[in-house]
Amino acid sequence: MNVTRGFTGRPRVDDPGLPPGQYDAGDDWPVLSAEVTPDLTPADWSFRIDGLVDAPRTWSWDEAHALPASAYQGDIHCVTSWSKFGVRFGGVSLDAFLGAVRPQASATHAVAYSHTGYTTNLPLADLTGGRAWIAFTYGGEPLSAEHGGPARLLVPHLYFWKSAKWIAGLRLLDHDEPGFWEQNGYHARGNPWEEQRYSGD
């Protein structure tokens, strides 16, 4: 058996935790970047939320770290069909950031954008309720640059292209506005359990 998982040592193919059409990447963590990995230090990094909010705001690294820490332990699923089980990210819940800016009632969607210019769109409802994070650590270590360090968006219940690396901000909108992959044929929402890979799925 050559497909095994580190700590269980058993393959996961028909596992109920595996969305349709996905395979278990085991200990591998592929890097998928449309851009060159930026040389972004914590001092260079900032995170902003603006658009349809009462109090637009930018957080520095230290200001973001002053918010309550929140962790995700669970699975991630890339549209190219790899999934990883039981990963652990540490960071701050997006609820903490959104609570500070107070989204207006008309805000229904967000565009997340990276310090590199990458964009991806999400329904605001997918960013609230303890299901989305700004992640700073992976497995207890600082997030590596190739995986989005010093900070990435993490929305693990959607395909991983929604989890923008080198996250710079969110703009809240009253409509859906396709991001980089979504303009190139990928699905507006990207729910792996419904196999929403491409627009029309």
Footprint of Mo ion on this chain (CB under 5 A)? Answer: 32, 78-79, 160-161
- Count of H-run helices and E-run strands, the chain: 2, 11
Question: Which of 133, 134, 112 minimizes the C-alpha distance to 121?
Answer: 112
Task: Give the DSSP H/E element, type plus range, for residue 176.
Answer: none
According to DSSP, residue 41 is labeled: -
Applying CB under 6 A, among 10, 13, 23, 31 the residue interacting with ligand MTE is 31
Q: Can you tell me which of 83, 93, 163, 196 binds ligand MTE, judged by CB under 6 A?
A: 163
DSSP 49: E
Out of 53, 75, 134, 147, point to the residue binding ligand MTE (CB under 6 A).
147
CA distance 162 to 184: 14
How far apart are CB 86 and ligand MTE at their closest, in Å?
Answer: 15
Using CB under 6 A, which of the segments 40-48, 113-121, 123-131, 169-177 binds ligand MTE? 113-121
Q: Which is nearer to Mo ion, 57 or 189 (CB)?
A: 189
Q: Please count the CA atoms within 13 angstroms of the CA of 57 that sit on its side-chain side.
A: 15
Interaction partner, residue 164 (Mo ion, ligand MTE, none; CB < 5-8 Å by kind): ligand MTE
